[in-house]
């Protein structure tokens, strides 16, 4: 069984996509959305407690050591979340990939409900949106 970060993200997005496709998350129904976020949290927590993500840290460390992008002495952790989002949008544009669609309104709702615990994700999305706007003529 593949337990790497790509598998985890694929599983998460498939689950969210199925909720959206089946209409289980609907606009104007915040309680349903919060219930689904809670289910998603429980799913991640259960898998984390079972040790399914233990290899993710090692995989990330191996990946980050092999991708310095010529920035000697620079660490990806020194960038702000906003800047990482902006850089991702510019990279998507420069490599010809379609822009990603992030659930910014859902993240904003989560921030208001959970006391800004999703602020880093919110900043990333705002940076991505800014980069997306700057890359278009």
3-state secondary structure of 60: helix
What pLDDT, on the 0 to 100 scale, is given for residue 89? 92
Task: Write down the pLDDT at residue 131.
Answer: 93
Q: Give me 12's structure tokens.
A: 């998460």
- Give per-residue pLDDT as tens, 86-110: 999 999 999 999 998 888 888 888 8
Pick the more confident residue, 24 or 135.
135
Q: What is the mean pLDDT of residues 67-76?
A: 50
* pLDDT surpassing 80 at residue 84: yes
pLDDT confidence band for 73 (50 / 70 / 90): very low
Confidence band for 82, pLDDT divided at 50, 70 and 90: very high
pLDDT by residue (tens digit) across 1-60? Answer: 445 555 666 666 666 666 665 555 555 565 666 677 777 777 877 877 777 766 766 776
C-alpha count within 13 angstroms, C-beta hemisphere, residue 42: 6
Over the range 113-133, which residues count as b (16 or more CB within 10 Å of their CB) and which as e? eeeeebeebbbbbbbbbbbbe
Chain-centroid distance, C-alpha 56: 15
| Closest among 47, 15, 19 to 33, alpha carbons compared | 19
Residue 118, pLDDT > 60, answer yes
């Amino acid at each position: 069984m593949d337990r790497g970060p790509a598998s985890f993200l694929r599983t998460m997005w498939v689950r969210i996509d199925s909720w959206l496709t089946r209409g289980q998350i609907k606009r104007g129904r915040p309680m349903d959305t919060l219930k689904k976020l809670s289910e998603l949290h429980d799913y991640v927590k259960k898998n984390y407690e079972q040790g399914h993500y233990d290899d993710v840290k090692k995989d990330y460390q191996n990946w980050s050591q092999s991708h310095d992008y010529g920035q000697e002495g620079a660490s990806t952790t020194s960038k702000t979340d906003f800047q990482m989002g902006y850089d991702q949008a510019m990279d998507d544009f420069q490599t010809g990939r379609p822009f990603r669609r992030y659930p910014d309104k859902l993240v904003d709702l989560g921030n208001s409900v959970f006391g800004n615990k999703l602020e880093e994700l919110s900043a990333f999305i705002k940076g991505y949106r800014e980069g997306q706007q700057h890359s278009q003529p």
